[in-house]
Amino acid sequence: MRCPLLVRRLYGMGAAGLNLRPGRESVTGMWHRRSVLGGLGAVGAGLALPALAQFRVEIAGVGATQIPVAVARFRDEAAGGQPIAAIVRANLERSGLFRGVDAPGALDETARPVMAEWRARAADALVAGSLTRLADGRFDVRYKLWDVVQGEDLGGQSQAVVAADLRLAAHRISDAIFRQLTGEPGVFATRVAYVTRSAGRFSLIIADADGEGAQVALASPEPIISPAWSPDGRQLAYVSFETQKAVVWVQEVASGRRRMLANFRGSNSAPAWSPDGAQLALTLSRDGGSRLFLLSAAGGEPRRTLTFRAPTSGVVLERKAVQGMRFATGEPLLTIADLSRVWLIAEVAEQDIGRVRIGTPARVRLEAYPGETFDGRVSFVLPTLQAATRSAQVRIELANADGRLKPDMFAQVDLPLVSAPQLVLPNAAIIDSGTRRVALVDMGAGRFESREIETGARGDEFTVVKRGLREGDSVVVSANFLLDSEANLRAALAALKGGSNTNPEPVPVVHEAVGTLDEVDARAGTLLITHEPVKSLNWPTMTMEFVPANSAVAQAVQPGAAIRFEFVERKPGEWVVTKMEKREPTR
């Protein structure tokens, strides 16, 4: 089977984005509450607002979708000095997605709660746990989560922490519960940094996401602005005016050690970390006006060039980037494709698509390389059909290590169609009168027998025989020149039998017409003819498809020629051309 094939482009797609995360853990998809807290920190720094002991953010408008959750007091939580259950409940409620349900008494992870009782309290989920002091002074914090509606145990976790990290353990439990019940990561274990001013002094504060556990990272009589977390949450960059000018510092959160990163002439401000934490973007006025520079996290000389690394290797198919251009987030600069393996999209006829299988070997020939073939395999059969061509698309993968296959090349592909063994007959051996198909079987001793046959799929050289012949029958393949109509067929068959045709079967009506042969479709076995009015059928001039009685009829005239032809109705709606000859066009 041959079909035209188009080599389509493969694009290597990739993207990298800046994700500055103020937290101890690597968390993506930060929820909007962090943005609220970060914004408040920035306002406090820029406008030097008075310091407040607490602030509360209320989120409205989501009550209808809140999940009712009961968090029971953890067993022995008083031993650690932190209200673990209350912290977990407050975190979930503050997210706006949960509504707390009162849970009287203590309950631990080994309990077997009666779900009907908790359903009566209108709880959809239940949390319980315990706190146990270990021999080394640390605390083992455990919890378990139940789905009250389904009555299922959703599991839990255990973590060993020092007393100073008990609040962090409660935040981690909150994150785990949030993910289990919403499918999204929680952000309660992250931290925030903000600046306050009190009594003429500025303080850089690091606190938990709920504002608790606040610690002073730096205090100064001069302004502190633009705190920015490193991606791993271990370092904090900020701008301090303690030397009477804007200088960028980087401080380690755990140890408090800090180092001066940028102290160039003019202003040094607005630090922002790269996603890998290896460098920072800064605004410097060392050359006059404020401009963006890139500086290694270890220090050094700033530079104004930024290296973007392609997410994959390959061939540059399109380059939009030019010197001095502006570009926005998400705008493509280069189109890169890995062409070491390419896809070929082949159009396969509707009647053949059912016999194409994934993994079928394919042999491809291209006009660019005459006499050469390329081997591939079918990797996918598209689930839709092209209505205009009545064909389906098949994807074939080809190795292209040497790069000889180029995007948008055209090719021909041979696919061995998968089917059960079938009996086939050369097309030349089939006598088609328009109403029936006959084969002449050699019986020996100069005798022949005519057999009416039923045919199936037709190829370029052979046709499937469904009924009328057996494997091994000797069939005449050169008798078509004797016959050009049903009447001649009957007379010839009668002569072969040595009998007469005194009781013939009804002969179909033969219609005559003139017109133009527009197209011969050898694969579909049809002729497209524009004919003039047919008086015997009261047809007007029109273009329609006919079926040739045999290959000799189909090859008698070239497309585009004026013709005179005869045809019969083999079965309702199927019109078969039994004779066709070229004629001089009417002047």
Question: Which pLDDT tens digit goes with each residue over 542-562?
Answer: 999 999 988 888 888 999 999
Separation CA 268–CA 295 (nearest Å): 12
Q: Is the pTM of this model over 0.85?
A: no
568 forms bridges with which residues in the sheet? 576
Answer yes or no: are the C-beta atoms of 152 and 144 closer than 8 Å: no
The pLDDT value recorded for residue 55 is 53
Answer yes or no: are the C-beta atoms of 157 and 1 closer than 8 Å: no
The pLDDT value recorded for residue 127 is 94
CA distances from residue 552 to 110, 173, 508, 512, 555 in whole angstroms, order as listed: 88, 83, 21, 18, 5
Answer yes or no: are the C-beta atoms of 267 and 245 closer than 8 Å: yes
Separation CA 536–CA 157 (nearest Å): 89
Q: Strand 125-133 and strand 67-71: pairing?
A: parallel
Answer yes or no: are the C-beta atoms of 334 and 318 closer than 8 Å: yes
546 forms bridges with which residues in the sheet? 527
Closest residue by Cα to residue 579 from 474, 487, 494, 491: 487
Separation CA 139–CA 277 (nearest Å): 33
Separation CA 425–CA 423 (nearest Å): 7
In eight-state DSSP terms, residue 457 is E
What strand order describes the sheet that includes 67-71? 98-101, 67-71, 125-133, 139-147, 152-161
**What is the Cα 70 distance to its own chain's centre?**
40
Residues near 168 by beta carbon (within 8 Å), at least 6 away in sequence: 24, 161, 189, 208
580 forms bridges with which residues in the sheet? 565
Q: Decide if pLDDT at 233 tops 90.
A: no
In eight-state DSSP terms, residue 303 is B
For the stretch 41-73, pLDDT in tens is: 333 333 333 444 455 555 555 555 799 999 999
The pLDDT value recorded for residue 513 is 94
Rg of the Cα trace of the chain? 42
Phi and psi angles of residue 578, each rounded to the nearest 5 degrees, phi first: -100, -15
The pLDDT value recorded for residue 433 is 67
Query: Encoding tokens for residue 54?
Result: 């607490």
The pLDDT value recorded for residue 500 is 44
The pLDDT value recorded for residue 426 is 85
The pLDDT value recorded for residue 69 is 94
| Residue entry with tokens 């255990």 | 158
CA distances from residue 32 to 35, 94, 186, 400 in whole angstroms, order as listed: 5, 12, 11, 47
Percent of the chain residues topping a pLDDT of 90: 38
Query: Encoding tokens for residue 337?
Result: 């494709």
Q: Which regions of 320-418 does DSSP assign to beta strands (E)?
A: 334-337, 341-349, 361-366, 374-386, 391-399, 410-414
**What is the Cα 576 distance to its own chain's centre?**
48
What number of CA atoms fall less than 13 Å from residue 496's CA on the CB side?
Answer: 21
Q: Which helix (H) or strand (E) holds 86?
A: helix 84-94
**What is the Cα 142 distance to its own chain's centre?**
40
The pLDDT value recorded for residue 327 is 82
Longest dimension (CA), the chain: 128
Phi and psi angles of residue 45, each rounded to the nearest 5 degrees, phi first: -75, -45
Separation CA 13–CA 170 (nearest Å): 40
Separation CA 306–CA 542 (nearest Å): 68
Q: Decide if pLDDT at 89 tops 90.
A: yes
Give the relative orientation of helices 84-94 and 166-182 as an angle to the nearest 10 degrees.
40
For the stretch 396-411, pLDDT in tens is: 999 998 889 988 898 8
The pLDDT value recorded for residue 488 is 56
- The torsion defined by the Cα of 555, 560, 562 and 563, in degrees rounded to 10, comes to 30
CA distances from residue 42 to 30, 188, 219, 281, 318 in whole angstroms, order as listed: 18, 20, 17, 18, 42
**What is the Cα 492 distance to its own chain's centre?**
64
The pLDDT value recorded for residue 19 is 30
pLDDT band, very low/low/confident/very high, at 528 (cuts 50, 70, 90): very high
| Residue entry with tokens 């797609």 | 13
Q: Which domains does the chain have, with CATH numbers?
A: 1-16+308-416 (2.40.30.170), 50-182 (3.40.50.10070), 219-293 (no CATH), 424-497 (2.40.420.20), 511-582 (2.40.50.320)
Q: Which regions of 59-177 does DSSP assign to beta strands (E)?
A: 67-71, 98-101, 125-133, 139-147, 152-161
Determine which of 75-89, 416-430, 567-581 has the lowest per-residue pLDDT on average.
416-430
Query: Encoding tokens for residue 157?
Result: 């976790």
Q: Strand 341-349 and strand 391-399: pairing?
A: antiparallel
CA distances from residue 66 to 63, 87, 97, 210 in whole angstroms, order as listed: 5, 18, 5, 20
The pLDDT value recorded for residue 493 is 55
Q: Average pLDDT in the 302-322 region?
A: 82
